[in-house]
Chain A
Amino acid sequence: MNRVDRFVESMLREQQPEPFPATEDEAEELRVAIELRAARAGDHEPSEEFVSTLHQRLAVALARPVGVAEAGPPTWDTTESPEAADDVDRSGVAGRDVRRRRFVRVAGIAAASLAAGVTADRVIAATTKPDPDGQASETLQPTVGAWRTVAASAELGEGAVREFDLGSASGFLERRDGQLRAVSGVCTHQGCRLALDASSRQLNCPCHNAVFALSGAIVRYELPVELTPLSLFQVRESDGAVQVFVPPSTGVTPPPTSR
């Protein structure tokens, strides 16, 4: 049996198929298999048990403070053991590990949504337009906020980088080629506080070793999750002071984790 056949057998038995790095031809076979399976009449409703279990999980997750996203394994996770799932020497990724990784990602998505102050109607506005550039950092424009002074202009010469922390927002200021830039200092993965590596002019995340450029762009990371670039703050110079536009201290931006 090849790996596509194994996928099909798992799917037809209502089991979680074993992952493998598919070629384009194999992907097409998986696609056709899924389409055929989805065309079967009936049985497309979630089970009562699943609906009520997820309801309980959501109640627990939503009762937690903002910024603490759920990362634990699902409570109904009683299916195959890693040993059993791994008996076909394949990618070596057991079903259980896959599940755990998926739930780590949930935390990332939730945290990113919160950091950007996402609400339903705004997301719709964003998704109806094509993403101009997947790597571009977005400038945060809080509906409510204030210009706050974070440095004196004289302190920030050409090429300088300075950290700032206003409670509701923290990040790094940079003046490069005469342009000012203020980038968020909070990792988009799980909200860890970033540290400046002055020699490489990069921001390092102590939690999972993600690295960002001062432009907000992702330099590298080794997480099985999606990561968004860092947000930028609006920044201006006024009367010899460098100011950033930040939300009020009670805003939705998750507070820095380390204090």
Chain B
Amino acid sequence: MNDIGKTARIAPVRHSPGSPAGSPQEPGDGGAPATEWEAIYRENVSWVYRLLFARVGNQADAEDLTAEVFLAALRPLRTTASTPQIRAYLAATARTVLAAHWRETFSREITTITGDTEDKRVETGGDAPQRADRILAELPERYRRILQLRFLHAYSIREAAAELGITVANAKVLQHRALRQAARNASRTEGRS
């Protein structure tokens, strides 16, 4: 139980006199004044949402986690920070929130937010299309087709079955095996590198 806190937390911060923190904490510092936190929110809410959506794959979780990030992050945020600093801070908070989410729901970390979260990659949805291409390229044709239809083209299982000329039951089995094969390929690739 104790190791839960190990990676998924915002570490308490050492700060020494002469750190770049600048002015001391204001008494009762409640974070950003009203209009400034709103600007920070507006400028970053889509960015945080995309960051998380790419790692949970569904809107409901992406929304919940985005809300968590802003609720945790906005109050202690100094609005004098620059945009890259704010983004780095939000990404750090999102990393914590995501790690805790996975541990709570699936007992292990499924996806992570690593250091490579500078604006560019996330704005463009990261390298998700290339990664998907690599995953699909390693699969036999029928496995590739079912995954393309379902995940990339949003076909229902029924529509995908019709497209492939098979029964719904067979489409389910095909999808199940295709995903398992893709996962095996992925873990083999990771093991090599």
Contacts and interface: CB of A to CB of B under 8 A. Distances in A.
A43 to B, nearest CB: 8
A143 B19 contact: yes
B183 A39 contact: no
Interface string A45-74: 111001100110111011001100110001
Interface stretch (A24-32, A146-154, A174-182, A235-243): A24-32
B129 interface: yes
B4 A110 contact: no
Interface string A14-30: 11110111101111111
B45 A112 contact: no
B118 interface: no
Contacts, number: 315
Contact of A218 (B5, B10, B50, B68): B5
Nearest to A40: B152
B58 A226 contact: no
Contacts of A25: 183, 187
Nearest to B54: A38
A46 B49 contact: yes
Given A119-B21, A122-B19, A21 B106 contact: yes
Given A36-B151, A121-B21, A138-B11, A27 B57 contact: no
Contacts of A101: 104
Nearest to A224: B104
Nearest to B133: A39
The list of the 3 closest CB pairs from A to B, nearest first, reads: A134-B6, A39-B132, A250-B27
25 contacts: A8-B175, A17-B105, A22-B106, A28-B186, A31-B111, A33-B57, A33-B151, A36-B152, A37-B57, A47-B59, A51-B45, A74-B64, A106-B68, A110-B71, A110-B72, A119-B77, A122-B13, A124-B85, A127-B88, A131-B6, A135-B5, A226-B5, A228-B9, A229-B5, A252-B25
